[in-house]
Amino acid sequence: MVQMDSTKSGFVGSEVELRCIFINSNPPVKISQVTWQKVLNSTKHNVAIANPALGVFKQAAVRHRTPSLEDTTIVFSNLQLSDEAAYICEYTTFPAGNRENMVNLTVYARPMTRMSLTSPTIVARAQKRKTTVATCVSANGKPPSLIRWDTRLKGEATFQETRNQNGTVTVRSNYMVIPSRETHKQKLTCIVSYRGDQIKDSVVLNVQYEPEVKIEGFDGNWYLNRPNVQLTCRANANPLLNGSLPSNVEIKNNTLFFKGPVSYDLAGTYVCDATNGIGTRTGIVESTSQVNRICGVVLGSCQFLVLLGLAAILLFVFLRRRQRTFKGDYSTKKHVFGNGYSKNLQYPDDSDDEKKSAQIGVTGSVRDFDTDGEDLKRPYFTVDEGESRDYDGRTLSFQYDPEPELADDMISQTDGSVISKKEWYV
């Protein structure tokens, strides 16, 4: 009998043995010849022949492991795809006749796997249509590979198999998504399964998208004279923005710094344009109505405060002037009367307009006067030292001591009287 493996397999380029062992009988039979045949499309083709007279295996494609007709195992040192077939090992004996067995040789081809982006940069279009962003290929494999995708992106995969002339199969899979800012920097992993092994390859999407603009900094409370307000333009874009902002303010990291307090000039509409190679987006913040409204309220308050201040000033001036000429509140005032005497008048506190005399003290004597008294009707005035005038045909000489020096706590009044500083500042 002939012993052989029913199946054998190997990868292209590897070494494979096809075992063929002859088990002789007892008494043994004579081996006349051993023939290896390759069966293609039901047709046998001789691969190698071993004959005692001719030697062992003249075929260069195979070699004999041991120089013995009982063991005619052949070896494929560099397996090729074309070597795949069914092989028959046939023994010719005498007088038992022919004995044979067969082995099926399968040749595998390990695929070449590669994954690539459809383009280094993928543009997010306004049409929002699906675009092939990555391709995974398992080329020249035998048997065909199985491809699947691992990603968090929501997309769609397509698959295609192509059979090559040498019997291998190329599998291609495309992954399609709608490019957007959300798909930027997302990871795509292609997993190729081949005969129990897994081959992984990954790419990261580079999606270019138009800017998304947001203005920060306006909190709805830009009150009048509020210091150091600012607006910041936040623009999310790929590629990065390349532009300029207004030059009349201080700019730092896309932030507009308004120097000084808020004024009416800041009321208006602020627009931030962000542009890249894909498109332009605009952010707008409206501060006109808010500032005007706030400023209007503040202006109304300011007008009220201005009127109140003016009233206070007028009242102060009025009281100041009244205080300079007022005679009714002072406890003691000194006057020089027309008779040449200096009199001390005591006034009650119950009236500002009507002044009622109580007692008048005269140097050297004390006299009583009423409001209709003769002395009170005489005019009082201020005279120069040594001056004399005619009065009812009489010449009156006014002689009195020079005006005494005022004490530190006294203040002279325009009507000739003096009061204390304490009374002056009341």
pLDDT of residue 395: 46
Structural domain contains residue 302? no
Instruction: Confirm whether 360 is domain-assigned.
Output: yes
Do residues 110 and 196 make contact, with C-beta atoms less than 8 angstroms apart?
no
Is residue 266 within 8 Å of 222, Cβ to Cβ?
yes
- Among 180, 205, 230, give the residue marking a domain's end: 205
**Whether residue 190 sits in one domain with residue 226:** no
In the prediction, which pLDDT does 387 show? Answer: 46
Confidence grade of residue 150 (pLDDT, cut at 50, 70, 90): very high
Name which residue leads in pLDDT, 313 or 358. 313
Q: Do 77 and 117 fall within a single domain?
A: no
Residue in the block written with tokens 């204390």:
420
Residues 368 and 408 in one domain: yes
Burial of 253 (0-12, 13-18, 19+ CB in 10 A): exposed
Distance CA 237, CA 128 (A): 17
pLDDT in tens, 33-62: 899 999 988 899 998 888 766 655 544 455
User: Which of 108, 127, 147 finishes a domain?
Assistant: 108
Q: How many CB atoms lie within 10 A of CB 175?
A: 23
Average pLDDT over residues 257-273: 71
Of 157, 143, 155, residue with least CA distance to 191: 157
Residue 60 backbone zone (phi > 0: left; psi -120 to 50: alpha; other: beta) = alpha
Q: Looking at the whole model, is its pTM more than 0.75?
A: no
End position of a domain, from candidates 108, 136, 151: 108
User: Residue 120: pLDDT above 80?
Assistant: yes
Give residue 366's domain range: 333-424
Whether 221 maps to a domain, the answer reads yes
| Higher-scoring residue by pLDDT: 275, 375 | 275
